[in-house]
A and B are shown apart, each in its own frame.
Chain A
Amino acid sequence: MIGNDIVDLAKAKQESGIFRPRYLEKICSTEEINLILSAAEPIRCFWRIWTMKESAYKAVQRQFNLKPAFNPFAFACLFQDSEFGTVDFRVHQLSTKTIKTDDYVYSEIIDNEIKQQFFGASSDFLLMLKNELNLQSLPEFSKTKQGLPILNLADKTLSVSKTHHGRFQAFQY
């Protein structure tokens, strides 16, 4: 499974009022709100939960061919430590890994398959893949019927989860 999500903390601070009334209640369970409010850094804790939910949403949408829906409440987060956690969705449990820096919070789904990450601009990512896979030309992004990104390579398609927020862009494939 693939799914990833990044939040540029400077942009998020400008655009999202996470402490405005009813904001957290629209996204988080009571348990998650307690985690946030008791955290040393509530804002980064919130964005960790948000990016965990978004990564899990992207992963199950792709895996189970689900219709798009805005239902962050359906994804329940638990922390194992400051990096690893789980997200429960219906009967499924997904594992996540989160990186927090001063500038961004990034989460991705982890499972038994080894996946790769690339941090940087889309053009650099495509160029890197072209060289790595010895392609004749740059691969091009297209979308599945549900609107999820895939790359068309010479003889096959490659599923890619991409995320872009503010100054940051990341790919998992």
Chain B
Amino acid sequence: MTSEAIQARLKQIVKPYVNNQQNFENLTSESNFINDLEINSANLVDIVLDVEDEFDIRIENDDMEKMMDVEATVGVIQKKLTTK
């Protein structure tokens, strides 16, 4: 799956947790979940679990640690999909 396709699906996953709609509409690979999208940190786990369900993958702590922005998260998903 291309990183663009993953990013498009990720955008739908984070949507319900976003508190800054303007930054969400202008989402880029550099968008940070907490600083830009103003997602509450308590919802980062929900996003990780939604990602696991959506892509049918399992994410370990080492990878979860990096999932603070769109680019890193897309990278983790892509890596998991290729080793599936």
Contact = CB atoms under 8 A, between A and B. Distances in A.
A17 B47 CA distance: 11
A70 B65 contact: yes
Contacts of B41: 54, 70
A15 B46 contact: yes
Contacts of B46: 15-17, 23
A69 B66 contact: yes
A27 interface: yes
Given A15-B17, A165-B40, A71 B64 contact: yes
Given A22-B52, A70-B64, A70-B67, A16 B35 contact: no
Interface string A12-49: 10011100101100110000000000000000000000
Given A70-B67, A71-B65, A73-B61, A15 B43 contact: yes
Contacts, number: 47
A86 B40 CA distance: 23
A68 B68 contact: yes
Q: Interface SS of chain A: helix, strand, loop or mixed?
A: mixed
What interface size band does chain A fall in?
20 to 34
Contacts of B6: none
B73 to A, nearest CB: 10
Contacts of A70: 41, 44, 64-68
Given A15-B17, A71-B61, A20 B68 contact: no
Most A CB within 10 A of own CB, among B17, B42, B46, B61:
B42
14 contacts: A7-B42, A12-B42, A15-B17, A16-B43, A17-B46, A22-B52, A23-B45, A54-B41, A70-B65, A70-B67, A71-B64, A71-B65, A73-B61, A147-B35
